Structure 1
Amino acid sequence: MSSSNGKVHSETCNGGNANKPFKIFVGYDSREDIAYQVCRNSILKRSSIPIEIIPIIQSDLRKSGLYWRERGQVESTEFSFTRFLTPYLANYEGWAVFVDCDFLYLADVKELRDLADDRYAVMCVHHDYTPKESTKMDGAVQTVYPRKNWSSMVLYNCGHPKNRVLTPEVVNTQTGAFLHRFQWLEDDDIGSIPCVWNFLEGHNKALENDSMTFPKAIHYTRGGPWFEAWKNCEFADLWVKEMEEYMNEAKKNIDE
């Protein structure tokens, strides 16, 4: 939740029952606080299950000694590598989600959680994606590599033995290829989930009047409406509407 000093912290929505909350780790970038707030809000308001939303904040991880990696030239966000600490931060227990902050959820995360299959160490959308743009967001370099965007939204089976490889030491020292391409796993360890849960704005297409192809979570991977250059991107109206709802609710809470 945001406060006047810009700090964020985890937030739990109990959804009316005493079940252990489903943990959702969201990559946080100080340049994109509003993207994080809108993403969080879109998850919270639609969830019918107990959830805990936890921002992965690089500066906090550095202070706690969990992250010391020097930032590379091709890292477009502050969570390019910290995302892989998700199983560690979840104490290697249960299932959890990591998601980039530039997402807008349009469906209940219970549907996503229900896809979890214990046969797999991770599950994600198996994108075949080669970006056309050379830059994204606020001018960050757009890199191209195999399995691009697979790691942008991942269901982690945190208790799976193979995910114990993802220690702070490994996350701080291994290559981008090793981490983003899930090279600590065999291909059979990587389950697939429907594209609608990581729907790439500007790349994936929703067929008219076809609910099966309409996004459940939109990923503004090129850049979202919070950047001037992308204010007219596809589905910008949905993000702006969600942002306005968040701002109005935040203002109401302050006034009260």
Structure 2
Amino acid sequence: MSLTNGENGGVKPFRIFVGYDPREDIAYEVCRHSILKKSSIPVEIIPIKQSDLRQRGLYWREKDQYESTEFSFSRFLTPNLADYEDWAMFVDCDFLYLADIKELRDLIDDKYAVMCVQHDYAPKETTKMDGAVQTVYPRKNWSSMVLYNCGHPKNRVLTPDTVNSQTGAFLHRFQWLQDDEIGSIPFVWNFLEGHNKVVENDPSTFPKAVHYTRGGPWFEAWRNCDFADLWLNERDECLNEAKRAITN
């Protein structure tokens, strides 16, 4: 991975693009807080906001009936937003990080165009979050947390024109790449709540990042999902820090 010096002579921060949806603002804030709190390396967290992308002329796609969030397709602008340079990460806002992001960054291998958790996942639910339709397709959830080798020639395909015109299948299944250009990451970095399981006495199965893909505790219907207590504790800490910052 390139560790190019920044303007101040230090190492450039690792760029993390987080999908943002106004309905899940608190999920974004908690995800951001959990990353920053545990990171031992400089990181820059950038929300992918559809309204901003439309204003900048980068996103003009009409809403698809199967879109469950505002970043269902805009996520694939990550290499473009990173100026097709170095490595960057995209992650859905419904993640809670329990480990240092440096551990994930250190898994990067320059021979790959992208790296992700290669789930074999077929959800049983027909709806998720606040009633959104739960669609099933090959490589589901692969695109929910991706390390992008933004300088890789193959990722030059992900222009605004491509992202705005290509099918969901082409984008979410990484069809611009060959299979051997997709690197694998341990599942604990995209631990699907309600699907993946912790094996007793096997610490290698404990999540480093919980993905509340069915819906998280910020929705009333999912207040009692697995790992809800961890998210709620992080939320309280995040809100208390924000209050202290205002009063100081």
Residue 252 (structure 1) shift: 0.5
SS of aligned partner of 1:155: strand
Query: What's the counterpart of residue 8 of structure 1?
Result: none
SS of aligned partner of 2:71: coil
TM-score of the aligned structures, taking structure 1 as reference length: 0.93
Alignment match of 1:122 (pick from 83, 101, 114): 114
Residue 42 (structure 1) shift: 0.1
Deviations 1:4-61 (A, max 9, x none): xxxxxxxxxx9xx921100000000000000000000000000000110000000000
Query: What's the counterpart of residue 73 of structure 1?
Result: 65
Residue 209 (structure 1) shift: 2.9
* Correspondence 1:60 to 2:22: no
Query: What's the counterpart of residue 221 of structure 1?
Result: 213
SS of aligned partner of 2:204: coil
Query: What's the counterpart of residue 5 of structure 1?
Result: none
Where in structure 2 are the equivalents of 1:142-221 lying within 5 Å?
Answer: 142-221=134-213
Structure 2 CA distance for aligned equivalents of residues 18 and 77 of structure 1: 36
Q: Quick one: which amino acid aligns to residue 93 of structure 1?
A: E
Alignment match of 2:89 (pick from 94, 97, 112): 97
* Correspondence 1:231 to 2:242: no
Query: What's the counterpart of residue 124 of structure 2?
Result: 132
TM-score of the aligned structures, taking structure 2 as reference length: 0.96
Where in structure 2 are the equivalents of 1:33-44 lying within 5 Å?
Answer: 33-44=25-36
Alignment match of 1:86 (pick from 78, 83, 88): 78
Structure 2 residue runs without a partner (length 5+): 1-5
Structure 2 CA distance for aligned equivalents of residues 75 and 213 of structure 1: 31
Q: Quick one: which amino acid aligns to residue 46 of structure 1?
A: K
Structure 1 CA distance for aligned equivalents of residues 93 and 48 of structure 2: 10
Residue 210 (structure 1) shift: 1.8
Structure 1 residue runs without a partner (length 5+): 1-13
Residue 212 (structure 1) shift: 0.3
Alignment match of 2:105 (pick from 113, 119, 141): 113
* Correspondence 1:242 to 2:241: no
Query: What's the counterpart of residue 11 of structure 1?
Result: none
SS of aligned partner of 1:26: strand
SS of aligned partner of 1:226: coil
Q: Quick one: which amino acid aligns to residue 133 of structure 2?
A: V
Structure 1 CA distance for aligned equivalents of residues 236 and 152 of structure 2: 40
Q: Quick one: which amino acid aligns to residue 30 of structure 2?
A: V
Structure 1 CA distance for aligned equivalents of residues 221 and 200 of structure 2: 27
Deviation >6 Å, runs of 4+? none
Q: Quick one: which amino acid aligns to residue 255 of structure 1?
A: T
SS of aligned partner of 2:122: coil
Structure 1 CA distance for aligned equivalents of residues 140 and 244 of structure 2: 40
Alignment match of 2:43 (pick from 38, 51, 54): 51
Q: Quick one: which amino acid aligns to residue 76 of structure 1?
A: S
What is the percent sequence identity of the aligned residues? 79
- For the aligned residue pairs, the C-alpha RMSD in angstroms reads 1.0
Structure 2 CA distance for aligned equivalents of residues 159 and 187 of structure 1: 18
